[in-house]
Amino acid sequence: MIRALMFIGFSLFVAAAASGQPNILFINIDDLNNFPAEYYPDLDTPNIDRLASMGVAFKNAHSPVPACNPSRVALLMGKHPDNTGIVLNSQYDFRTESPILTNAASLPQHFKNSGYRIVGAGKLFHSPNDDAPNTVWDFYTMSIGGSSYDTFTPHPENGLSGLMNTDPDGIMGSIPNYRDFGHYENGDPVDRTTSTPDYARAAWGVTQIQDAGTQTQPMFVSVGLYRPHLPHYCPKRFFDLLPDPITDVPHLTNDLEDILDPMGWSSYDADLKFASIRDGVDYPNQHARAYVACVAFVDELLGMMLDAVDASPEDWVTILWGDHGFHLGEKDRWLKFTLWDRGTRTTLIMSGPGIPEGVETYAAVSLLDLYPTLIDYAGLGPPGHTLDGLSLRRHIDGSPVSDVVKLLWDEKDERYEAYKSEEWTYIVNTALNSEELYDKTFDPNEWDNLADDPQYDDVKSWLVPEPDVGTGLLLGALAICLVQARMHRARSSME
Ligand SMILES: [Ca+2]
Ligand SMILES: [Ca+2]
């Protein structure tokens, strides 16, 4: 694509446009876990599948911190939470709380500084006040089609249908409204799809894609879809696509009892809300069904934007990402906020010029890598601050690379760290001297904690970086090959 040179004098953005830089379609889906149709057998996601067929699907992508705010800050600022200290949802004001971020350019801001026109609708940063939406962006709105976070709107006019129908005895206690679920219509026969905020955001995205050819600058278009974030409301027809009940998620009784500290105490408690209802009549399955229905809903909205990309004469690099995973009862947990794969693993797909079609990789990657990846594919220079990730091009163009990514979480004021590779999850809490090791090749649900078995000491020492090296991406290819050969020998001895 060569854009017309319309305004020769405006060198910055004319230079960017003339260079053939692609437009960027940057779609995030809140709380979307890892390629959900591969995990929930009753769900189809034809448009996630379609985008994957158009590009590269990262099947083992992890959030640096399994919560909205710190995950998005890490991704959008390109800085690991180890280096920023931003690990909590409450750290909204990250530029004040983390001095190294105070004057750093966010990913969209760097695109603007490099000649792009940047526009956005829906959630991107966790706080609507972050990233100075009125000054940094050429256009940005959180609230298109509804309230800022779409937490309660549009909502059935007659109340909270989900919980009211499934919790007649009040066993959920003081569950806040945002944990409710149900369908928007709540008995009304008229489909509500086009009146939902997420539909409005997707439709706005379609308009931006269609209008991109009229712009003199390349476009960076951010669309944030809020479902399947709580409350799990979507149009009824997406519930109707699913059996009732749906297939239960994998759950192992007493799964947490092999994760002990040296005193023999369990390192984790069950989520209290889940513990209180796990033996209830059908609430866990009904709530899981609502999450899955919401995924089907946003998949359709994704399809609207992919149709527009297909019809566009412009070049588009399209990126779909979620901000972390989501538990629906696995390991006695709801929501995110864990370092197990169900908490950290999300959907990441890239397609566009120079990106091969229909490729999937199971190498462990971090959302932290998206900032350097996008400036790489757009041909931009580096921002003024050091980025902690690496371009994903190494997984797209080069030989397969085996990475280790480091993730963080704080639970009960204790710092947990996780090291994830294609095959392994290693979670450590230094203060409690608690550790977990899972061999995901044979144990994809992370049920069997191998950390106490000395035959895996090599694996643990491979996964945990040397203290003076930093995080992730730490070993050369030769070292990785040698250690993986040892791991395979170790496993062969078990079989
Ligand atoms: Ca989220
Ligand atoms: Ca277990």
Stretch (H or E) spanning 200: helix 197-211
Contacts 24+ apart (CB under 8 A), 449-457: 449/258, 449/259, 451/426, 455/490, 455/493, 455/494, 456/490
Orientation angle between helical segments 370-378 and 68-77, nearest 10 degrees: 30
CA distance 462 to 292: 37
Quick one: pLDDT at residue 159? 46
State the DSSP string of 220-266.
Answer: EEEEEE-TTSSSEEE-HHHHHTS-SSPPPPP--TTGGGG-B-TTS-B
pLDDT in tens, the chain (495 residues): 333 333 333 333 333 344 579 999 999 999 999 999 999 999 999 999 999 999 999 999 999 999 999 999 999 999 999 999 999 988 888 999 999 999 999 999 999 999 999 999 988 888 765 555 557 899 988 766 555 445 444 455 434 444 444 444 444 444 455 567 788 877 778 898 988 889 999 999 999 999 999 999 999 999 999 999 888 889 999 999 999 999 999 989 889 999 987 777 777 776 655 655 555 545 678 889 999 999 999 999 999 999 999 999 999 999 999 999 999 989 988 888 999 999 999 999 999 999 999 999 999 999 999 999 999 999 999 999 999 999 999 999 877 677 899 999 987 778 999 999 999 999 998 878 889 999 999 999 999 999 999 999 999 999 996 654 333 444 433 334 334 433 333 333 332
Quick one: pLDDT at residue 227? 93
Tell me, in angstroms, the distance from the centre of ligand 2 to residue 331's CA.
Answer: 8
Tell me, in angstroms, the distance from the centre of ligand 1 to residue 247's CA.
Answer: 24
Which ligand lies nearest to the CA atom of residue 324 in the structure?
1
Which ligand lies nearest to the CA atom of residue 367 in the structure?
1
Tell me, in angstroms, the distance from the centre of ligand 1 to residue 30's CA.
Answer: 5
Tell me the CA distances in angstroms from 280 to 419, 427, 428, one per residue in order.
35, 31, 33
pLDDT digit string (tens) for 41-94?
999 999 999 999 999 999 999 999 999 999 999 999 999 999 999 999 888 889
**Homologous superfamily of the 11-400 domain (CATH):** Alkaline Phosphatase, subunit A (3.40.720.10)
Dihedrals φ, ψ of 490, to 5°?
Answer: -60, -45
Which ligand lies nearest to the CA atom of residue 224 in the structure?
1
Nearest to 443 by CA among 463, 462, 425: 425
CB-based contact 32:295 (threshold 8 Å): yes
Which ligand lies nearest to the CA atom of residue 72 in the structure?
1
CA distance 27 to 385: 24
Dihedrals φ, ψ of 78, to 5°?
Answer: 70, 25
Whether the bond into 228 is cis, omega within 30 of 0 = yes
Tell me, in angstroms, the distance from the centre of ligand 1 to residue 324's CA.
Answer: 6
pTM of the prediction? 0.87
Which ligand lies nearest to the CA atom of residue 30 in the structure?
1
- Which tokens in the block code for residue 302? 């994704």
CA distance 248 to 242: 13
Q: Which amino acid is at 99?
A: P
Tell me, in angstroms, the distance from the centre of ligand 1 to residue 122's CA.
Answer: 13
Tell me, in angstroms, the distance from the centre of ligand 2 to residue 319's CA.
Answer: 35
Tell me, in angstroms, the distance from the centre of ligand 1 to residue 290's CA.
Answer: 16
